[in-house]
Amino acid sequence: MPQRDRWRARLLLIGAAFYACVPSEDDPQASATEGTSGTSTGSTTAEPATSDDWPSSSTSPTTSPGPTATSTSTTGFDNATDDTDTAATEGPTSTTGTTGGSRSICGDGIVGGDEECDDGPANDEHGACTDDCTIAYCGDEKIQIGKEACDFGEDDGEGKYNGDGSYNGCTALCQLGAHCGDNELQADHEDCEKMGPKMADGSQCVECKWDANLLFVSSMSYSGKLGGLEGADAKCQALAAAADLPSPELFMAWISDSDASPQSRFKPPIDGEYILPNGLEVASDWDSLVAGVDLQVAINVDETKTVITKPFRVWSNTTATGVGLDGSDCNGWTSDELGVLGSYGTASEVSALWSHTDTEWCSKKYRLYCVGSVG
């Protein structure tokens, strides 16, 4: 027998003898026989013990210098290894846990692996936990319903991004920026807003654009040499386009020569109200505009929505009924020479004087009335 096994057998015998000598609390005679038991056990040292001499459940005392054996094997001491301990601590492998070696399935309701969240069936592209088990955040280009109104991320592909301050843009907090319907008039993009200036019933403001015929007085002044009626129209159209008014190509000057007038040139007119760029109603329809009666408000707002407060003159050669006058049209609006007269109206007036007040030399520089959305 190898020397190692002899020492192990002796230590086990000593341990067995020790435990045999410990008195039992249930045996009052244990102390009386202690010496005998110890002698009897100690006399069995003639032959080394084998593994068959010991019950399979025996364990060596914790004070033994040898290795601790917890194996239930009965084939010998050399078979007592740490395999039993290893097997006992490993246990079965989880398929959904977060420990090493585990795997997770997005949508099973258990957060694991690389998942940031997992709400199970509630995972949604527009939810707090997305359909790829990542936590939604402002900037992920996914609109989280109930918390975000928009999300362009770093770039929506059209040059917009969160916080760029653009019209119809998205703020850095994923809320709508300036837009139609925010009750703030964005003069560069809108004609009207729900809380901005509007007509009596407010029904003409559609998608922040006036659904009506527009009138304005020009911000610029011109001599009587306008280039004829077509030249006057072109000036109105250029101003309307620069102010980003709708359909600028349809604007025409309220002016007459010996051959044509608003009554003949503006036919057939578009149905609906006639309003200023700030939304105030001048007349409810074409018939009211040319009725020769007082206007509801003076035509004293230019194409940029600026209100002109002081009286000023406007070339027209036209009556309040839209009919042309004779002989005061600066030679068909082609001359600015002294001695040539042109007829003008006064923009601060609501009476018939708004269209015709008097005549003046064509060398003077006056404004123009411009009417849009006409046929």
**29 is a domain residue:** yes
**Same domain? 69 vs 209:** no
Its domain, for residue 346, covers: 205-371
Task: Flag whether pLDDT at 186 surpasses 90.
Answer: no
Collapsing DSSP to helix, strand or coil, 327 comes out as coil
Final residue before a domain boundary, out of 40, 60, 89: 89
> What pLDDT does residue 181 have?
84
Collapsing DSSP to helix, strand or coil, 352 comes out as helix
Q: Which two tokens stand for residue 296?
A: 């509801």
Q: How far apart are the first and last CA of the chain?
A: 123
**117 is a domain residue:** no
Measure Cα distances from 256 to 193, 226, 318, 365, 368 in Å. Answer: 35, 12, 6, 17, 12
Closest by CA position to 133, among listed 97, 98, 109: 109
**41 is a domain residue:** yes
Task: Flag whether pLDDT at 63 surpasses 60.
Answer: no
The model carries a pTM of: 0.54
Q: What is the mean pLDDT of residues 28-38?
A: 41
- Separation CA 348–CA 365 (nearest Å): 17
Helix or strand holding residue 367 (H, E) = strand 367-371
Q: Which residue has the higher pLDDT, 179 or 271?
A: 179
Which band of pLDDT confidence, cut at 50, 70 and 90, is reported for residue 42? very low
* Domain harbouring 335, CATH code: 3.10.100.10
Final residue before a domain boundary, out of 89, 119, 135: 89
What single-letter DSSP state applies at residue 43? T
The percent of residues in the chain predicted with pLDDT above 90, rounded, is: 46
Q: Which two tokens stand for residue 52?
A: 């068959």
Angle (CA) 11-22-33 rounded to 5° is 110
Q: What mean pLDDT value characterizes the chain?
A: 77
> What pLDDT does residue 247 have?
84
Please answer whether residues 268 and 188 qualify as being in contact, where contact means their C-beta atoms are separated by less than 8 angstroms.
no
**280 is a domain residue:** yes
Domain count, the chain: 2
Of 181-190, 309-318, 354-363, minimum mean pLDDT range: 181-190
**Predicted confidence (pLDDT) per residue in 89-142, tens digit:** 443 333 444 444 456 799 999 999 899 999 999 999 899 999 999 999 999 989
**269 is a domain residue:** yes
**332 is a domain residue:** yes
Residues 6+ apart with CB under 8 A from 235: 218, 220, 222, 226, 253, 368
Please answer whether residues 21 and 37 qualify as being in contact, where contact means their C-beta atoms are separated by less than 8 angstroms.
yes
Whole-number CA gyration radius for the chain: 51
> What pLDDT does residue 72 have?
39
Of 46-50, 73-77, 107-111, 320-324, minimum mean pLDDT range: 73-77
**319 is a domain residue:** yes
**Predicted confidence (pLDDT) per residue in 277-321, tens digit:** 888 889 988 899 999 999 999 999 999 999 998 889 999 999 999
**63 is a domain residue:** yes
**Predicted confidence (pLDDT) per residue in 190-226, tens digit:** 877 765 554 444 446 777 877 788 999 999 999 999 9
**Same domain? 210 vs 343:** yes
Q: Which two tokens stand for residue 318?
A: 């036209």
Residue 82: what residue type? D
Which band of pLDDT confidence, cut at 50, 70 and 90, is reported for residue 36? very low
> What pLDDT does residue 59 have?
40
**Same domain? 212 vs 349:** yes
Final residue before a domain boundary, out of 37, 70, 89: 89
